[in-house]
Structure 1
Amino acid sequence: MFWLPLSVLAAVPLTLASPLAPRWDDFKVKHAWHDVPRNWKCEGPAPAGTTIDLRIALKPHRENALVDALYEVSSPQHAKYGAHLSKAEVAELVAPHPDTHALVNDWLSHHGVPSSSVSTSHNGGWLTVSSVPVSQADALLGASYQVYRHAETNDTLLRTVGYSLPAILHDHINTVAPSTYFGGPRAWRKTSHLTPNGKILPDGDAEIQAEIAALAKAKEASRLPGSLATVPSSCSSTITPSCLRALYNSSTYTPKATSQNVLGIAGYLEEYASHTDLKTFLTKFRSDATAAAFTVVTVNGGLDNQNSPGDEANLDIQYAESISFPTPNIYYSTGGSPPFVEDGNTPTNTNEPYLDWLQFILEQSTIPQTISTSYGDDEQTVPLDYAQSVCTLFAQLGTQGTSVLFSSGDSGVGDGSCLTNDGTNKKQFIPNFPASCPFVTAVGGTTRVNPEVAASLSSGGFSNYFPRPSYQDAQVTSFIKSIGTSFSGLYNTTGRGFPDISAQAENFQIVLSGRTESIDGTSCASPTAAAVISLLNDFRLSEGKPSLGFLNPLLYSTGTAGLNDITSGSNPGCGTTGFTAVAGWDPVTGLGTPDFGKLQAIVA
């Protein structure tokens, strides 16, 4: 059985409710920043009457149970492989200690919080305390909530640079949000950018399709081995759906389980996917799929503004649809920006995008079998307690049979000065979160064809928060040994390595407001890989088998044979050349890019 010794998941003896009255003033720091996070400036106290909604993650009674179950149902070698859990079964695994709710309720009651303002979610694993006056939040958490303004975006947040809990509650509470997480529109950066000088196809990819057909015919006649022989050289400078379907060997597969299988795209930061642009894109780049449409689901006040399409949202949905057609696609428009309205009358927007979306999706009766997300942040800017709590929510998705994929990022081994934010100002490679979470599949970037090589923008490295999981220990240890003392001290030799796999990430053709644009980023790679995984889930479901769920134990074992190993290219950053792609796993392209045909045979 696979086992992951995460600190957040390590067995911790719970403090039982004391027969004596607990000391609610015996504060112990839960999390605090050494300095105000970069680019944020304190504007002073919130206006009188401002309230805040607090979310409290409670520690489960059996803290290893969820991860144990995740690896049992995700490891091809285990007898329970594919026996995904129901929502109720997951609830049992994450249920708090029997004393936890009573103790936390006593604490809230001591501070005058009415029981009517407290609600539970995730089957009692999370509490939401609504409309808490800021002064009351300060008292509860030994905090000092203030208004902070971002120097570049001018956005404002209500946050505290540190918070504490009574000592007796540390064994019962994982995290409280919003508190010290200063993530905002620039921090939750899109890992993509428009490339106005990139090559743009004026008349669709008919020429590429014709070239693919000619190459396929030549391959058949000469019996050339391998699917890469059918990828036109023009795909090195211009990526279209035809390029990707040929490159990743999925062009001959037609989905059959379209009444069961769903592909989800998580969107944030007021990024809207345009139905009209999708129709134009498919007419130009996949004419047999023009009937494709997607459903929009709004989360936490998210909108669906069809007059303001976003390059990120359009990229995600256009490539997810064009590769997975006719699989149903859902675009989740998650609210959370602007984060704070200083009117003193309404609760602050919590602006915790992943929590907003995760709490929504985990409450649903049905969840897409594959989900792609193209957003991330520097790991060191995310409070550890918050990152750990969010990571375990991704684990819950995996146990229920959902494959979760994330872009690895666009900054190589790190962007800018790469100095730590713990007060030591030490130079260090900067990993990204949630890509560094061991319960998601992180997707790096490649470019060119015949052969593919690593894209220099592809983020990869080693987590400073999460230990290396056993499913990747052999491959990652081998890589670390192979580079010897290179970059010594710049990365965590025992951390979770990412990315896990990769896909094309440059020169993607998209349609934005009716115009064809060229776009780069691992935002291209994640929906591409997710669409291929969605086809595999379709195949499994059509054969009466369960969906794949959490992918990594499969990918690092039998699944490796279904990936195209990338052995050249690097990801420079932090003033260094970065890591280099090599045979086997590497922190640039992971295990390689998917070959649908080979993976289909493996998962059969």
Structure 2
Amino acid sequence: MLWSLIFLGLVQSSLAAPPIKRWDAMAEKHSWTEVPQGWEYHSPAPQGMSFQLRIGLKQDRVDDLIRDLYEVSDPAHHRYGNHLSKEDVDALVAPHPESVETLNSWLQHHGIDPEQAVYRSGGGDWITHRVTVAQAEKMLGTKYNVYHRPETGSYIVRTLKYSLPRDLHDHVDVVSPTTYFGKTEAMRVNSFMQPEVPTMQYDLNQFNADADAGEIPASCARQVTPYCLRLLYKTIDYVPGATDRNKLGVTGYLKEYTSNNDLQEFFKRFRPEALGTKLNITLVHDGLNDDERPGTEANLDVQYAMAIAHPTPTVFYSTGGSPPFIADDATMTNTNEPYLDWLEHILNETSIPQTLTTSYGDDEQTVPVEYQKRVCSMFAQLGARGSSVIFSSGDYGVGPGLCYTNDGLKTQKFIPHFPASCPFVTTVSKSTGGIPEKTAGLSGGGFSFTFPRPSYQDAQVKAYLSLIGDAYSGLYNESGRGFPDVAGQARGYQIVHKGTVRSIGGTSAAAPVVAGIVSLLNDYQLTKGQPPLGFLNPWLYSEAASAFNDIVKGSNPGCRTLGFSAHHGWDPVTGLGTPDFEKLKALLDKRITAQ
């Protein structure tokens, strides 16, 4: 009897005690078969160097977040427009308590106090701790090295693979910096100088006087100005009325600074009534803004976003990144994770701009899948809170170069762009010419290999796929998220850079223009007592699909192919087409009247 009682007590004790975690039983989380293209091994990372290690815990109710996002973004749903608060979103992305407990136990095992986090997101799904290279290597079962990119002269500290304890795998989505090499230098090519396009040197007032009322001057087909775009997309007669509430945000990375002197000269030449308008600048994660060293990308984005949306208040977010690495430094202050840096900042704000535009991106296959999904879910959080998130689609057509996969097999595939391929952003490609517009060659577009096709575009994408049949079969993912969603003019933009008018083009030009138009639509919503549009795509592919200028000529060559061709309706070259502001505003009016 006594032995029975002792045995029963032992069983009960073992059932009550939590299982012992085996932190030495590791399983790989992600790896590359070779050093990512463009980077070269330089040297081992100094063991004593410290950096900020970000840990993305699994979000316990992320499916509920996505459900809520679609419901508040679907014009046919009774919750349409009822966006979530920061607190609502934080609650949905918070990790399960067991995940937090498991992570804390692991950190303590490695001598890290869980309470000493450098950063903890509002929902607690992102935790950042400062660690040394030696600590990180032990924690992740890996080896960190310094890698060099000769093309730009930049150095970063990364690893080709990392692991986590098996007991932690189900609780953690991603750890960074690890295997994301952040080839963000390539993002600059979303805009490109066009020295072959003569710059506009004559006075804007004369230009306006020479234009017939309501007619688009012939020169606009070659030299694009805010006046051309406002005529073409029919915003010229709209006067914003909610500038006390509406805000437009423009992101900047890679030491791309904007110049107020250039901005004022641009306004003087191309939007005189905006002269004197101030740009608000927010510095994120060691970001800077040097007025004496402006970048063409930042000037382009700011000048055209503000010129279209004037006088809507605009903020430029300058996010730090791409730091030089000095081997004898004890501390690396910036780990070059620009999207995460900016997203952490903006999602921590109680009030965020109703429209946000970004003209940067990278090849989807160069970004670890877990990283893509977490970043994409953060864009979903912005949409759920009522922000319209705009991204450029890239300027490589269906893919850059020879388009081989980087999985070691080197299979030829089309290479989609990220974050353009994220289903929770609105992606903008490029058009050119007068009415009717046509595609501007090498316009980024295609189908994601990471994200499945969202329901909001199912009908349009299926219709396109039925048109092209088995063309390019095997080179793209027929069930993937199709992009772009819309398009905009993208050649011959006249900007002011270092006091001189220059010509520039690319999807980087189209994105801020479309964002400016969306900002005006948000302004109209607010003046009518309505909520901002928020995540646009469910509306664009339903009610608003008819309010775009359909583009049916052209293609987006790449990967040694002619690429996809434009057709009536949606296509992976120019999406639904270019926006007609008056038609879009009329659709908003119709819904408001019907309420």
Q: Report the TM range for the smaller structure's normalisation.
A: over 0.9
Q: Which residue of the partner structure matches residue 60 of structure 2?
A: 61
Most deviating of 335-344 and 580-589: 335-344
Q: Secondary structure at the match of 1:189?
A: helix
Contact 2:48 2:134 in 1 (8 A): no
For residue 270 of structure 1, report the CA deviation from its aligned partner: 0.5
Within the alignment, does 1:231 sit opposite 2:230 as a pair?
no
Q: Distance in 1 between matches of 2:129 and 2:187?
A: 25
> Structure 1: which amino acid aligns with 2:322?
S
- 2:185/2:254 contact within 8 Å kept: no
Contact 2:183–2:362 (8 Å) recurs in 1: no
- 1:492 matched to 2:477: yes
Query: Partner of 1:180 in structure 2?
Result: 179
What's the secondary structure of 1:188's corresponding residue? helix
d(CA) in 2 for partners of 1:277 and 1:339?
A: 28
Aligned counterparts of 1:491 and 1:304: Cα–Cα separation in 2: 40
Q: Residue 134 of structure 1 corresponds to which residue in structure 2?
A: 133
Out of 531, 537, 543, the residue aligned to residue 552 of structure 1 is 537
Q: CA deviation at 1:561?
A: 1.7
Distance 1:156 1:111 in 2: 28
Cα distance in structure 2, aligned partners of 1:316 and 1:120: 31
1:331 is matched by which residue type in structure 2?
Answer: F
Q: 1:264 aligns with which of 244, 249, 254?
A: 249
Letter aligned with residue 62 of structure 2: E
Compute the displacement of 1:143 (Å).
1.5
Q: Which residue of 1 aligns with 2:200?
A: 201
Deviation at 1:113, TM superposition (A): 1.2
Distance in structure 1 (CA, Å) of the matches to 2:559 and 2:195 = 26
Kindly name which structure, 1 or 2, has the bigger radius of gyration based on alpha carbons.
2
8 Å CA contact 1:321–1:327 kept in 2: the answer is yes
CA distance in 2, matches of 1:79, 1:440: 22
Shift of 1:157: 0.7
Shift of 1:29: 1.1
- Cα distance in 1 for partners of 2:270, 2:193 equals 19
Q: Is the 8 A contact 1:205 1:240 kept in 2?
A: no
Q: Distance in 1 between matches of 2:525 and 2:580?
A: 16
Q: SS where residue 66 of structure 1 aligns?
A: helix
Q: Report if the CA contact (8 A) 1:158-1:348 is conserved.
A: no
The equivalent residue for 2:188 is: 189
8 Å CA contact 2:84–2:385 kept in 1: the answer is yes
Whether 1:34 aligns to 2:33 is yes
Match of 1:571 in 2: 556
Gaps of 5+ in 1: 1-16, 217-229
Q: In structure 2, how many angstroms separate the alpha carbons of the residues matched to 1:210 and 1:373? A: 34
Is it true that 1:331 corresponds to 2:330 in the alignment? no
1:408 to 373, 393, 396: 393
Give runs of ≥4 in structure 1 deviating > 3 Å: 187-190, 204-208
Amino acid at match of 1:316: D
Distance in 1, matches of 2:420 and 2:494, equals 25
Q: Does structure 1 conserve the Cα–Cα contact (< 8 Å) formed by 2:47 and 2:132?
A: no
* Structure 2 SS opposite 1:375: coil
Q: Secondary structure at the match of 1:175?
A: strand
Aligned-residue offset at 1:538:
0.4
Partner Cα separation in structure 1 for residue 557 and residue 47 of structure 2: 48
After superposition, the Cα gap between the structure-2 partners of 1:263 and 1:488, relative to the gap in structure 1 and judged at 3 Å, is same
Instruction: Indicate the residue corresponding to 1:444 in structure 2.
Output: 429
Specify the alignment match of 1:458 in structure 2: 443
Instruction: Tell me the equivalent position of 1:368.
Output: 353
* Kept after mapping to 2: 8 A contact 1:339/1:350: no
What is the alpha-carbon distance in structure 1 between the residues aligned to residue 88 and residue 65 of structure 2?
10
* Cα distance, 1:339 vs structure 2: 5.0
Residue 51 of structure 1 deviates from its aligned partner by 1.0
Of the candidates 345, 352, 360, which is equivalent to residue 337 of structure 2?
352
Separation in structure 2 between the aligned mates of residue 393 and residue 295 of structure 1, nearest angstrom: 24
Q: What is the CA-CA distance between 1:344 and the residue it aligns to?
A: 3.1
Q: CA RMSD in A?
A: 1.3
Judge conservation of contact 2:95–2:123 (CA < 8 Å) in 1: no
- Unpaired runs of at least 5, structure 2: 1-15, 590-595
1:426 correspondence with 2:425 = no
Q: Which amino acid aligns with 2:89?
A: V
* TM-score under structure 1 length normalisation: 0.93
Q: Report the 3-state secondary structure (helix = DSSP H, G, I; strand = E; otherwise coil) of the residue aligned with 1:39.
A: coil
Matched pairs, number = 573
Match of 2:122 in 1: 122
Q: How far did residue 488 of structure 1 move?
A: 1.2
Structure 1 contact 41–149 (Cα < 8 Å) conserved: yes
Q: C-alpha distance in 2, partners of 1:199/1:470?
A: 44
| Mean Cα deviation higher: 181-190 or 355-364 | 181-190
CA contact (8 A) 1:412 1:573 kept: yes
Aligned partner (choices 299, 310, 313) of residue 295 of structure 2: 310
C-alpha contact 1:51 1:134 (8 A) present in aligned 2: yes
Q: Which residue of 1 aligns with 2:7?
A: none
User: Which position in structure 1 is the counterpart of 2:517?
Assistant: 532
Shift of 1:348: 4.6
Given that 2:286 and 2:334 are in contact with CA atoms closer than 8 Å, whether structure 1 keeps it comes out as no
Partner AA of 1:67 in structure 2: I
